[in-house]
A = this chain, B = another copy of it.
């Protein structure tokens, strides 16, 4: 089917003025003025619609087209007429219009604005709305910008496995993966499940992070990154949590926590800059209808340094806020983890920009983070951004075999489970660091959309895995 994407008409309208073009797309609205009419058509190739003008005198099937419902698909051939005085730079004067697929009056997207809650019940149709066409194009552009950022710096993309038999990290929150008949599973003599008869010969789960695997590859390639789905079986129903989400996890050999922060800031700024350049129409709409401060915030963050503060100093800032009568729901005290309200206070009110908090107490962070010389904090970093809270969590990894083994012992973990991980410290261990970026949180930040369910094509949350 010979057609020109509408994006190309907008890109080349000056050259195409006066020529005959064919476009295909879906009807967003039709206005019948009796002797002439307007069809607003979109084909998804760009955010903009094209206006098709039809004339009863010259269009044989005028009445048929005028009677079409919103959502119908049409093939339109006509002259591209430049309209320098109008809002849109051109329109198409229809010579012929063919109905490819009709729609019906019960088409769920009618002119009146639908709520995002309602749109979640028609996830197969919602990408056709302005909101979701903006969100999902920005998601795609941001994903590509991430790949470009890392590849241009020589990072190797590694597809770490989704199914894992290492369920030590985050045990209770993992999804089991099985082919056993759950009604009648094979049992051992003691009544427990005989996992040796499951597909992988042992219990398997969905990964919560590719980091430990990525480290294997960082020790060969130096700089690597993952970008793939990860899973949490958390029974939490918040705007910021989904059971299935995408993570970006770079891992760098010969790098410390400062290198890690430099990388995180450069990556976020690079993605923001790309989206500002490539998604101007989408951002303008979002800035107008979803989040009035969006453009200003993104432009600011793209060019200014992020704040850096230690956990210990951050606690002091929060304690001062409490002393100054700021009310937090959760107590502030050295040694306890920061709550979202604390994170948002720091990044939104105190620093007013993205903020790295570093060097958390060892007790509230993962076993693999490098112990600082003070013996009580670890080289961890969280990146907090206004409106969202934590968007990145990273650390310098413990590269010293004996320190790591001691830590695993202290936590009562099974050293045999980490044999391979410890091997990396036995054979040419090096200083290394990395982080995990929650990709959906980044898309929320880029779009101003405040619910993770609206930045995932088909979100999976407690009780929900439709479509």
Which residues in A have some Cβ–Cβ distance to B below 8 Å?
Answer: 1, 3, 5, 7, 24, 26-27, 43-45, 71-73, 100-104, 107-108, 123-125, 127-128, 132-133, 136-137, 139-140, 143-144, 147, 151, 154, 156-166, 175-180, 182-183, 185, 191-193, 199-202, 204, 206, 213, 216-217, 219-223, 228-229, 231, 233, 235, 243-244, 246, 253-256, 259, 399, 420-421, 423-431, 456-458, 460, 462-467
Contact = CB atoms under 8 A, between A and B. Distances in A.
Contacts of A421: 124
Nearest to A153: B5
Given A199-B462, A463-B200, A220 B133 contact: yes
A428 B217 CA distance: 47
B177 A457 contact: no
A260 to B, nearest CB: 12
B163 A5 contact: no
A298 B384 CA distance: 47
A178 B179 contact: no
Contacts of A426: 103-104
A161 B430 contact: no
Nearest to A100: B430
Contacts of A156: 44, 136-137, 140
B182 A182 contact: yes
Given A431-B1, A467-B213, A44 B202 contact: no
B104 A427 contact: yes
Nearest to A144: B151
B159 A229 contact: yes
Contact of A100 (B165, B431, B460): B431
Contact of A177 (B103, B180, B206): B206
A458 B420 CA distance: 13
Contacts of A259: 1
A164 to B, nearest CB: 7
Nearest to A68: B428
Given A104-B426, A179-B233, A201-B463, 6 more contacts: A127-B217, A139-B157, A140-B158, A199-B463, A204-B465, A228-B229
B199 A161 contact: no
Nearest to A425: B101
B457 A158 contact: yes
